Amino acid sequence: MTAPGGAGRLDGAGGTGAEGAASAEIGVRTACPYCGVGCGVIASPDGKGGAAIRGDKDHPANYGRLCSKGSALGETIDMADRLLTPKVGGRDASWDAAIGLVAEKFQAAIRDHGPDSVAFYVSGQLLTEDYYVANKLMKGWIGSGNIDTNSRLCMASSVAGMKRAFGADSVPQAYEDLEETDLLVLVGSNLAWAHPVLYQRVIAAKAARPGMKVITIDPRRTASSDLADLHLPIRPGSDVALWNAVLSQVIEQGAVDAAYVAAHVDGFAEAAAEVRGTTAANAAAACGLDAADVETFINLWVRTEKVVTIWSQGVNQSSAGTDKVNAIINCHLATGRIGKPGSGPFSVTGQPNAMGGREVGGLANMLAAHLDIENAAHREAVQGFWASPAIPTKPGLKAVDLFEACRSGKIKALWIMSTNPAVSLPDADGVREAIAACDFVAVSDIIETTDTTRLADVLLPATGWGEKSGTVTNSDRTISRQRPFLPAPGKARADWKIICDVAQAMGFDGFDFEDEAAVYREHAALSGVAGKLGRDFDISDHAGLSREGYDGMAPFRWPLAGPRKGGRFFADGKFFTPSGKGRMLALELREPAQQLTAARPLRLNTGRARDHWHTMTRTAKSPRLSQHMGEPWLEVHPEDAAACGLKPADLAEVSSDRGTSILRVLVTDKTRPGVLFAPMHWTGEYAPTGRVCALPEPVVDPVSGQPELKSAAVSARRFRAAWHGFAAARGEFRPKTAYWSRARTKTGWRAELAHDAAPADWENFARDLFGLPHAATACVIDAARGIARVALLVEDRVAAVLFAAPEPVQVARGHVVAALDGDGPALPLLAGRPGADMPDPGAIVCACFDVGVNTILAAIAGQGLTSVEAVGDVLRAGTNCGSCRPEIRAILDGAIAARKEAAE
């Protein structure tokens, strides 16, 4: 493994190669491990295990920008909760023992039940080199297709849609197209929160060219709609009807590129016949939209030459996800608006290396290098290249089926790498049971206590971001190096190395790689084999890359050679289908698989929070990131809130036929009537009743196998608690109440609580809650009103504090936490509010500069501020990553409206 830093280090003394020469700053160039934007990061280790983080001005994904999550990376690399040694049956073990047991269990299952009795479930968090050897082991040596990935939950419908239309999984566009376009349409994509740096690029482009139009299509008016000229709050699942109307009007209004279609597109006549006569009014009725708005959108789309349609999980996570993707691509193919500067269809991935996983065949239905498992010539080419003993002739089990096979006993040995399926898959409680039911489960992870690691027979400690070395591919096909700048802690090993160690323990050759650079070279060489078979993914120019060349590798967009080098696909009309033409499809609207009923009358949409990532194993380590939304919430339209008896700040019990979640109510008209929204991040570690993926049925798109995570049929009602509480402590505590949600603070933890019965003795309850049985107390208890405020004192210092009341408690949480972090006396703290000399900043809006809503409101009122920029000038809020700018605008709009109302 490279020494931490290695090449790519910027040492001010020349560094290495072009990258080192590009800057005199000190640090190591690497890539952010979160979303599919794939921002370049410069990490400057502090020598004490931490690092200062800044954006890499030379990286083509972000040009120096970072979002709140990327900016806080340095706060997430501590050793808290790290898995530092292998464990067998919960006890520390040697690597030899752990590897030997994994190899033995997999060998036994294969011997007794065949290769399809074992499975790997891997992750878009893995580096490409890790992914490559995992796929090689499962497909080439074990001989099964049973390797699938959490990318199945993210972009499988885009892969399937692009394969149907283009013949290969080729994203045609590049990030600069978002800036060069005249019309940007965001479909099921909250770019502002899910891909914040791309959103910042769009903000800057629109500011520079105000004529550029942005339209958002989403059941929710999200932070991204802040920038939009038009928002269409589409009925969940009805996208195909809308895009069929666009295609119909493309044809009606003469916008078809007849020459391009004639020369390069199959299926036009069938698709045209399907949509003939479809109008904006038809689409508006099918999609639950205003007809005039739909007409405006369609006319703009049809009449704008440079149009980019970008989509994400709102399209993909659907039982008709692949059809939705193809309905969008149909419109681009018919107009020839594809693969051109500022014009084309663009899928943005959620995961940092979903694309790298696709490139090495990390999905159960793919071979490496974008080759097809169903194609005998492709199988032969891969097997021949590897000189492997086996190659599967059929796809393996996709994620949902894979865990069903664990439950049914078909899978006897399962290895989960770098992901948390007990939280993230639909019917998450059922998946937890399925993993528990599997005969043998190994989990590689960096964190010891996740919902999934708790179910493992063997735990394998992996290196994490900042320690590992390899490559990742972002959403626009740019491959970047992730470089280490910290030593591997404890006994942690790189994932690729753990996989190779197990392969060798199973007696397999082909896994004696010297280092990750050798894995990359083999991956690059295999892509050359694919290139010769006419496939899109070819980086074979790197097959002979030296270690130094690998370490100094600058970001590049594939393909690496040929006429399309670093550019776009398909403007030239050359596709990867057997006919060499793009394919349009005749598509009909299919409704979400889960029907609404009188008992389950609401749709539950799920998605991301601004400052958290996936199942929070990293972002929840940062107190700063936990300030924005401290607990899982439920967005409810006012009409639904009234119908369900829900008030703001209530707790709501949301139930489906699979499970129940308890979530904090946010009444808002940003979501459609009939559609609820909840974030997907919270886990058993942070809010056991906030695991919203427990609610959706495990139904999938029939083509892609991607689960329908955004359309659960649910009901909602008020969670009737005997008391609600807020608690904070200098140390860690884990409540046992019916509802709890906890988050880290600078010195400990904070929690929201609710329970169905009040304790007999609040002081003892507090001692038990915080695990401080001998603490002295200072209390204010009003038994008649059900109010209790208890401070626990250890050595005359407040160690923990609990506020309880029959309704959600009204205390200034930021103040309480800040006071606890300091050395304040107990009784003023029990007031739950700051004194007049200490203003309460309120809930944090700007995580970068710790600016709260009350501070912003005070500045608006006191200084007459009227713009987001003015707020930024005065408070710095919104001037770093910009992710909070939509919220600042909403606060401004509300304050200005209130001021006007008061004046009238």
Q: Is 103 helix (H, G, I), strand (E, B) or coil?
A: helix
The answer to whether the CB of 771 falls within 8 A of the CB of 734 is no
Among 821, 633, 631, CA closest to 735: 631
Structure tokens at 644: 């369900």
How would you label 381-414 residue by residue, b for 16+ Cβ within 10 Å and e otherwise? bbbebbebeebbeebbbbbbbbbbbbbeebbbbb
Q: Give the amino acid at 746.
A: K
Q: How far is the CB of 127 from ligand SF4 (least distance, A)?
A: 15
Q: Does residue 35 touch ligand SF4 according to CB under 6 A? A: yes
Closer CB to ligand SF4, 66 or 416, in the complex: 66
Q: How far is the CB of 881 from ligand SF4 (least distance, A)?
A: 7
Q: 112 to 151, contacts with ligand SF4 by CB under 6 A?
A: none
Closer CB to ligand SF4, 200 or 238, in the complex: 200
Q: Does residue 39 touch ligand SF4 according to CB under 6 A? A: yes
Would you give the end-to-end CA distance of the chain in angstroms?
70
Q: Does residue 34 touch ligand SF4 according to CB under 6 A? A: yes
Q: How far is the CB of 566 from ligand SF4 (least distance, A)?
A: 20
Binding ligand SF4 (rule: CB under 6 A), the pick from 28, 66, 119, 654 is: 66
Closer CB to ligand SF4, 201 or 789, in the complex: 201
Whole-number Å distance between alpha carbons of 298 and 304: 10
Closer CB to ligand SF4, 583 or 610, in the complex: 610
The answer to whether the CB of 683 falls within 8 A of the CB of 447 is no
Binding ligand SF4 (rule: CB under 6 A), the pick from 7, 42, 53, 67 is: 67
Check the CA dihedral 364-366-368-374 and report its sign. Answer: positive
Closer CB to ligand SF4, 193 or 682, in the complex: 193
Q: Does residue 154 touch ligand SF4 according to CB under 6 A? A: no
Cis peptide before 559 (omega within 30 of 0): yes
**CA dist list (Å): 314 to 16, 153, 154, 320, 891:** 42, 12, 10, 11, 26
Contacts of 709 (CB under 8 A, 6+ apart): 153, 313, 317, 426, 606, 680, 693, 696
Q: How many CB atoms lie within 10 A of CB 588?
A: 12
Q: How far is the CB of 197 from ligand SF4 (least distance, A)?
A: 4
Q: How far is the CB of 37 from ligand SF4 (least distance, A)?
A: 4
Binding ligand SF4 (rule: CB under 6 A), the pick from 51, 197, 416, 604 is: 197
Closer CB to ligand SF4, 517 or 844, in the complex: 844
Q: Which segment (60-68, 143-151, 490-498, 791-799) binds ligand SF4 by CB under 6 A?
A: 60-68
Q: Which segment (37-45, 93-101, 243-251, 770-778) binds ligand SF4 by CB under 6 A?
A: 37-45
Q: How far is the CB of 173 from ligand SF4 (least distance, A)?
A: 17
Closer CB to ligand SF4, 42 or 809, in the complex: 42
Q: How far is the CB of 23 from ligand SF4 (least distance, A)?
A: 18
The answer to whether the CB of 466 falls within 8 A of the CB of 77 is yes
Closer CB to ligand SF4, 175 or 508, in the complex: 175
Among 844, 853, 868, CA closest to 72: 844
Check the CA dihedral 788-789-794-800 and report its sign. Answer: positive
Q: How far is the CB of 32 from ligand SF4 (least distance, A)?
A: 3
Size of the site for ligand SF4 (CB under 6 A): 14
How would you label 77-103 residue by residue, b for 16+ Cβ within 10 Å and e otherwise? beeeebbebbbbeeeebeeeebbbbbb
8-state DSSP, 136 = I
Q: How far is the CB of 559 from ligand SF4 (least distance, A)?
A: 23
Structure tokens at 686: 């942070």
Number of helices followed by number of strands (H, E) in the chain: 30, 35
Whole-number Å distance between alpha carbons of 212 and 184: 8
Q: How far is the CB of 35 from ligand SF4 (least distance, A)?
A: 3
Edge-to-edge strand order for the sheet containing 478-482?
A: 470-473, 478-482, 556-557
The answer to whether the CB of 730 falls within 8 A of the CB of 723 is no
Q: How far is the CB of 70 from ligand SF4 (least distance, A)?
A: 2
Closer CB to ligand SF4, 63 or 385, in the complex: 63
Binding ligand SF4 (rule: CB under 6 A), the pick from 32, 119, 325, 338 is: 32
Binding ligand SF4 (rule: CB under 6 A), the pick from 27, 38, 725, 832 is: 38
Contacts of 147 (CB under 8 A, 6+ apart): 119, 120, 121, 122, 134, 135, 138, 139, 362, 364, 396
Q: Which segment (62-70, 82-90, 400-408, 560-568) binds ligand SF4 by CB under 6 A?
A: 62-70
Q: How far is the CB of 202 from ligand SF4 (least distance, A)?
A: 12
Continuous H helices in 757-865 = 762-770, 813-821, 826-830, 853-863
Q: How far is the CB of 387 from ligand SF4 (least distance, A)?
A: 37
Q: How far is the CB of 10 from ligand SF4 (least distance, A)?
A: 19
Q: How far is the CB of 203 from ligand SF4 (least distance, A)?
A: 13
Q: Which segment (190-198, 203-211, 252-260, 299-307) binds ligand SF4 by CB under 6 A?
A: 190-198
Q: Which segment (27-35, 185-193, 363-371, 507-515) binds ligand SF4 by CB under 6 A?
A: 27-35
Binding ligand SF4 (rule: CB under 6 A), the pick from 29, 69, 608, 664 is: 69
The answer to whether the CB of 240 falls within 8 A of the CB of 589 is yes
Closer CB to ligand SF4, 62 or 316, in the complex: 62
Binding ligand SF4 (rule: CB under 6 A), the pick from 15, 27, 70, 735 is: 70
Q: Which segment (64-72, 516-524, 528-536, 604-612) binds ligand SF4 by CB under 6 A?
A: 64-72
8-state DSSP, 371 = -
Closer CB to ligand SF4, 196 or 852, in the complex: 196
Q: Which segment (192-200, 357-365, 457-465, 637-645) binds ligand SF4 by CB under 6 A?
A: 192-200
The answer to whether the CB of 134 falls within 8 A of the CB of 147 is yes
Binding ligand SF4 (rule: CB under 6 A), the pick from 196, 392, 623, 872 is: 196
**DSSP line for 407-447:** HHTS--EEEEES--HHHHSSSHHHHHHHHHHSSEEEEEESB
Whole-number Å distance between alpha carbons of 637 and 631: 19
Closer CB to ligand SF4, 39 or 178, in the complex: 39
Q: Is 156 helix (H, G, I), strand (E, B) or coil?
A: helix
- Residue closest to ligand SF4 (Cβ): 70
**CA dist list (Å): 102 to 98, 99, 406, 459, 620:** 6, 5, 17, 10, 30
Q: Which segment (59-67, 445-453, 477-485, 511-519) binds ligand SF4 by CB under 6 A?
A: 59-67
**CA dist list (Å): 235 to 346, 439, 676, 714, 721:** 22, 43, 12, 16, 33
Q: How far is the CB of 226 from ligand SF4 (least distance, A)?
A: 17
Q: Does residue 203 touch ligand SF4 according to CB under 6 A? A: no
Q: Which segment (32-40, 161-169, 448-456, 484-492) binds ligand SF4 by CB under 6 A?
A: 32-40
Closer CB to ligand SF4, 478 or 737, in the complex: 478
Q: How far is the CB of 706 from ligand SF4 (least distance, A)?
A: 21
Q: 94 to 113, contacts with ligand SF4 by CB under 6 A?
A: none
Binding ligand SF4 (rule: CB under 6 A), the pick from 7, 28, 37, 373 is: 37
Closer CB to ligand SF4, 310 or 604, in the complex: 310
8-state DSSP, 138 = I
Contacts of 784 (CB under 8 A, 6+ apart): none
- Sites of contact with ligand SF4 (CB under 6 A): 32, 34-35, 37-39, 62, 66-67, 69-70, 195-197
